[in-house]
Structure 1
Amino acid sequence: MKRHNFKKLQIWESSMDLINDTYAITSKFPDFEKFGLRSQLNRSAISIASNIAEGSSKRSNKHFIQFLEMSLGSAFEWETQMIVCNNLNYISEKEFYTLEEKISIIQKKISNFIDKLHN
């Protein structure tokens, strides 16, 4: 198997954009969330991109898929945390729906890539 250059993968690029969006949003959270939801959201966003990058170093598609599945799990974790932020009114409805659309696209792209690697 030829290794993938993670920097050229759309899923990695999209997840890097999500990291920037996440940090911009969480910087506005209340101070008491510094070690709570703010930290967790930032870590989840970073985990999406990091698992794609780490998985791209593996010698087999089987192992790469495992990391892509972890990345997908982090994407769903991030989405859940963003729902909590919306419920707590930490973000506006507009911000929520914009970010929800972005994460949905990332989740679909990761899932499609996993399917492609299975074949």
Structure 2
Amino acid sequence: MPELPYRNLEVWRRSHALTMAALDLAESRPVARRPALADQITRAALSIPLNIAEGRGRRTRNDFAGFLAIARGSLFELDAALYLCHCRNLLPDGTYAALHSEIYELTAMVQAMIDSLRNPK
């Protein structure tokens, strides 16, 4: 079965992996005992690859850039929620650092894509 074009994007593959890790974290005992926080992590994490996929399916570069901007905001939102978990000692040692590093790299990738879509050479 052929793949849809968004699955060929490295940024989508990495955001999908990040989302899977965030969902596992949201379902883990310490975080799941705080339903509002678990829900926020879940919603922010899901928004990232879903907006990348939806944007890739749009017809114009500007539309795609707009959805990437939403995904970028969701990366920030996810990082803020994970930082709250870190400050409340709800994450295993090193987990926040690893997730934050991936979020930082993905944010740079998404921004580079936005810039290239809005300012083609």
Find the residue that maps to 1:100 and give its secondary structure. helix
Tell me which residue corresponds to 1:112.
112
Match of 2:92 in 1: 92
The alignment yields a C-alpha RMSD, in angstroms, of 1.4
Distance of 1:92 and 1:113 partners within structure 2:
32
Q: Which runs of 4+ in 1 moved over 2 A?
A: 29-32
Q: What is the CA distance between 1:93 and its match in structure 2?
A: 3.6
TM-aligned CA deviation for residue 32 of structure 1: 3.4
Question: Sequence identity of aligned pairs in percent?
Answer: 26
Residue by residue over 1:58-92, the C-alpha shift from the partner in whole angstroms, topping out at 9 and shown as x without a partner, is: 11101111100000000000011111010111103
Aligned residues: 115
Deviation at 1:30, TM superposition (A): 4.5
In the alignment, which residue of structure 1 is the partner of 2:33? 32
Aligned to 1:21: 21
2-side partners of 1:31 and 1:55: how far apart?
Answer: 31
- Structure 1 stretches lacking a partner, 5+ long: none
Q: Which residue of 1 aligns with 2:43?
A: 43
- Extract unaligned runs of 5+ from structure 2: none
After TM superposition, the score normalised by the length of structure 2 is 0.89
The 8 Å contact of residues 58 and 64 in structure 2, kept in 1 or not, is answered as: yes
Cα distance change on mapping 1:101 and 1:30 into 2, 3 Å: closer
The one-letter code matched in structure 2 to 1:108 is A
Q: What do residues 7-32 of structure 1 show as CA deviations (whole Å, max 9, x unaligned)?
A: 10111101100111112222222543
